[in-house]
């Protein structure tokens, strides 16, 4: 797919249909993500993918806890970060915008989180415990490359804190090694026709975030 089309195709998908993704395609997407750059080619990333029975168990445990209103406790950082003013403004704009866009269906947003977006595949990204902060940068590049590679394969994606907010559940069912830090989760699948997937999240005017000095 042409790069501009890949970029345009990738957007946060919050409701997937039941179509599976083949192991071969998953392997190819992860192999493409490995082209991401990293400090000194350290390649700190490790990938654990949940499908099948493992996924069913994770979803059941997650839904039960989310519906009970249990606060998340992700391993990377606290749940409610204190955002600088500009980021806080953007986050509020997004939240107001999507709730307004969904109208009477706004409660589908919470339901989508509790059900882990109905995704047929969950990808967990980890780095060794005690890694330098630079490795988090590298893992972010890996995650974005993975999502763009997925788009190129016609696979949709959803990067979400929701997927890692109960790390003990992920650890229990994926048997994640104790020496790995669970950083981020990305759901993969194919988008269901649903208004939840149609909200065009805005972006700040480029002039506001760009300085070119000559
Ligand atoms: C680190 C990170 C965590 C996120 N966590 C969630 C989440 O828990 N739930 C959710 O609905 N969206 C989550 N998102 C998706 C963002 O809301 C989304 O990427 C943003 O609004 C921009 O929209 P777009 O991806 O469609 O361009 C997360 C995105 C990132 C990068």
pLDDT in tens, 146-201: 999 999 999 999 999 999 999 999 999 999 999 999 999 999 999 999 999 999 99
CATH 3.20.20.370 for the 3-77+85-200 domain, yes or no: no
pLDDT, tens digit, 9 for 90 and up, residues 76-130: 998 888 999 999 999 999 999 999 999 999 999 999 999 999 999 999 999 999 9
Backbone φ, ψ for residue 113 (5° rounding): -70, -50
Query: Taking 90 as the threshold, does the pLDDT of residue 1 lie above it?
Result: no
- Among residues 121, 189, 126, 205, the alpha carbon closest in space to that of 154 is found at 189
State which ligand 1 atom lies nearest to the alpha carbon of 162: 8
- Residue 130: count of CB within 10 angstroms of its CB: 8
Confidence of residue 17 (pLDDT cuts 50, 70, 90): very high
Quick one: pLDDT at residue 78? 82
Quick one: pLDDT at residue 30? 99
Residue 162 CB less than 6 A away from ligand 1: yes
Query: Taking 90 as the threshold, does the pLDDT of residue 16 lie above it?
Result: yes
pLDDT, tens digit, 9 for 90 and up, residues 47-66: 999 999 999 999 999 999 99
Q: Round to whole Å and give the CA distance between 204 and 101.
A: 19
Q: Report the separation in Å between the CA atom of 119 and the middle of ligand 1, taken as the mean of its atom positions.
A: 15
């Amino acid at each position: 797919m042409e790069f501009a089309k890949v970029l345009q195709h990738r957007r946060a998908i919050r409701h997937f249909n039941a179509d599976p993704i083949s192991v071969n395609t998953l392997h190819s997407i992860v192999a493409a993500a490995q082209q991401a750059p990293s400090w000194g080619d350290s390649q700190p990333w490790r990938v654990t993918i949940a499908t099948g029975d493992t996924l069913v168990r994770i979803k059941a445990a997650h839904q039960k806890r989310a519906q009970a209103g249990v606060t998340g406790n992700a391993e990377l950082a606290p749940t409610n970060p204190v955002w600088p003013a500009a980021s806080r403004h953007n986050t509020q704009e997004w939240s107001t915008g999507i709730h307004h866009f969904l109208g009477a269906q706004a409660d589908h947003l919470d339901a989508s989180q509790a059900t882990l977006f109905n995704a047929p595949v969950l990808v967990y990204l980890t780095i060794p415990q005690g890694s330098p902060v630079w490795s988090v940068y590298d893992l972010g590049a890996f995650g974005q490359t993975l999502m763009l590679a997925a788009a190129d394969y016609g696979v949709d994606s959803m990067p979400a804190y929701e997927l890692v907010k109960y790390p003990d559940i992920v650890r229990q069912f994926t048997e994640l090694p104790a020496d790995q830090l669970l950083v981020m989760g990305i759901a993969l699948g194919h988008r269901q026709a649903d208004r939840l997937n149609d909200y065009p999240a805005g972006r700040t005017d480029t002039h506001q975030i760009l300085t070119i000095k000559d």
